[in-house]
Amino acid sequence: MGDVLLLNPPPQGCYQFRDILFGDTPPVDVVEFPVNLASVASSLLASGCSISVLDANALQTPFDDVLTQVEQQDPDVIVIPASSTSIEPVLTDARAIREVAPDTRQVLMGLIGPSLHRRALDVVDAISIDDHEEMISDLLSRPWDPARVDGLIWSDRGRTVINPDRPHTDLDALPFPARHLFPLDLYIHYLVKQDVHYTNMVTSRGCVHRCTFCSRSFSKRREWRGRSPANVADEFQEVSERLGIREFRVIDEDFLHDRDRVLGIAREMRERDLDVNWVITARADGIDKEIAEALASAGCFRIDIGVESANPDILRSTGKGVDLDTVSSAFSTVHEAGIAAGALLIVGLPGETWESVAQSVSFAREVGSDFTIFRSILPYPDTPLHTQAVRKGWLDENGHLSRPEFTADDVKQATTWAYRTFYLDPAFMARRAARVRGGRDARHLLRSFGKFLKFYKGLG
């Protein structure tokens, strides 16, 4: 194929993680580094494709300007990241692109549930669900012929075709993401540090668990696969030394899945004396003293733990397979190792009441969560939760979970209440202030607190 444009759509046209968390006016700063797009960019370059990158999200390029650029550039193919949660705005963008560039092929890359394939293929030409690097390189490094690209989902005269699976990619064989093609000084994330630039990184793929609410649960290729410790340490080293970025967010679905690998990564990083700081998200049952101490010794300064709900019945019903004692003990272990620990909670799961939301807030306080996210439940299409919600008639006109006992409006109000109650607690503020380390940390804390106060005062 000729010219390929890798496009990250602008904020107004695409799903924003923060919007799901905080509503329309988030109290925090997030400009996500699109690491998957950068990884595809790297593989396309390696296979000889001519590519350009437009991260309109980071650059805040108005969508009209994106269209003008597409019209002028007239690429042969545009690759756009998408997921089940972002599909509607992405398809709106894709339709508009089709208007100005009718001959340009469009490929979506991301975890898009089976029920949405047809809808997407009415607008775009092909979908890559996982291991995008090899699949998209295979598709675009030769004349367009989707029928011969294993793993690809495409449309043959109105019929959805799912090509035979392709073997999993050898993750160690992939070139590191082509970060240099992206505006690196624009990426910022509240989970890392708000006043320094950061990058996302992926060290493993897949998750063998099947939580009812999780968009990963419908993926039919859930096997976990990890990069080797040396390969992971190589990327930390290269990015910090060549690009000067020292703050990393590891966005694996299950980073701690393979204990020996985690200990190996920590060992490699210690031996190389890498001056980097990084955060992970983890299941509580992957954490023990040895793991926490190894992570601390390798620069991991924060672990966000998927708690989901502090009501035992609700937690059990998610299929997470972790109990509250395990979660509690994980928080103590992480704190004892000198790492900050955050609680990730969901508001509005089946069975939720105002009392159970209060339980979650109390639990986050009791375990000393340093940063808590309360996410309003959103049933993603094709998940067990979505299936249950459809069967029970719990979906409102916006696709939100709305049970007679706890409506979508209750979910929204309870999420706001939970944030306000957790963060505006004098004991939390005193505990957090006691942990301040240096001027940068203090500035970060003051700014975050100011934003939260402004935001939640506005909500009355």
Interface residues with ligand SF4 (CB under 6 A)? Answer: 207, 209-211, 214, 216-217, 253-254, 283, 306
**Residue (299 or 306) nearer to ligand SF4, CB:** 306
Token pair belonging to 195: 């006043």
Closest CB 173 distance from ligand SF4, rounded Å: 24
**Residue (163 or 388) nearer to ligand SF4, CB:** 388
Closest CB 253 distance from ligand SF4, rounded Å: 4
**Residue (153 or 214) nearer to ligand SF4, CB:** 214
**Residue (209 or 403) nearer to ligand SF4, CB:** 209
Closest CB 15 distance from ligand SF4, rounded Å: 17
Closest CB 167 distance from ligand SF4, rounded Å: 22
Helical packing angle, 438-458 and 408-423, nearest 10°: 140
Closest CB 205 distance from ligand SF4, rounded Å: 11
Closest CB 87 distance from ligand SF4, rounded Å: 19
**Residue (177 or 206) nearer to ligand SF4, CB:** 206
**Residue (257 or 403) nearer to ligand SF4, CB:** 257
